[in-house]
Amino acid sequence: MGTADRPAATVHPGAVQAIFDHLILSLTADGRPGTPVFLFSHYRLRWAADGIVGDLAFLETANDGGTERLVLTDAPALVSAQSGRLSPRGWSPEDLERPPTVAVFGSTPLAGPAVTETVVAEGLSVEVEWSALGPPAFATGPAPRVPTEDIVSVLIEAGAGRATMNGRAVAGSLFVNDVWVPWLGRPLRSGVVAIGEVLLTRP
């Protein structure tokens, strides 16, 4: 073990900004990279320097009329505090200006080959499943969405995923997502469970 002069632990010199889980599932009609027919990006904010915590999710679905985008939360203050930097790529400021939908979030334990989340709001019921979960991978580096800060993450890639909207199954499949290549050096499938993420300032 170390000593007071040479401690065994490595202490990051930055200040912790937030601690959260991030679960994302994106499906395309043919299982190839392209415009999603379903996108669910859920942040579970467990601790934040500004004291605003809770669940914040971004939902995008394709229908006959085009694309519908909703911001779902159980803590409306999170929307103004975090949605600007956490919203999915391709979302515009106008997508975030509409009032959020207040929802109730539920989840099964992450203790097996699959994890399921539910989101229930007035007139809306969503169920999302990540299955065939791979082994966790530990990664740390510049935060992709906040390049002036660092992030520590445990990433679990899903081999399969599914979603239902108001009881109807979404017709779509995961795809190989190259967006991860610049950060990890390899792609991941478009269903990822990231747990215990820590966002820190970089001195």
**pLDDT value at 4 more than 90:** no
Beta-carbon contacts of residue 96 (< 8 Å; ≥ 6 apart) = 71, 79, 83, 84, 87
Amino acid at 151: I
What pLDDT digit, counting tens, does each position of 103-154 carry? 999 999 998 999 999 999 999 999 999 999 999 999 999 998 787 899 999 9
What pLDDT digit, counting tens, does each position of 44-55 carry? 999 999 999 999
Q: What share of the chain is helix, strand, coil (3-state, %, to 5)?
A: 10, 55, 35
What pLDDT digit, counting tens, does each position of 28-77 carry? 999 999 999 999 999 999 999 999 999 999 999 988 778 899 999 999 99
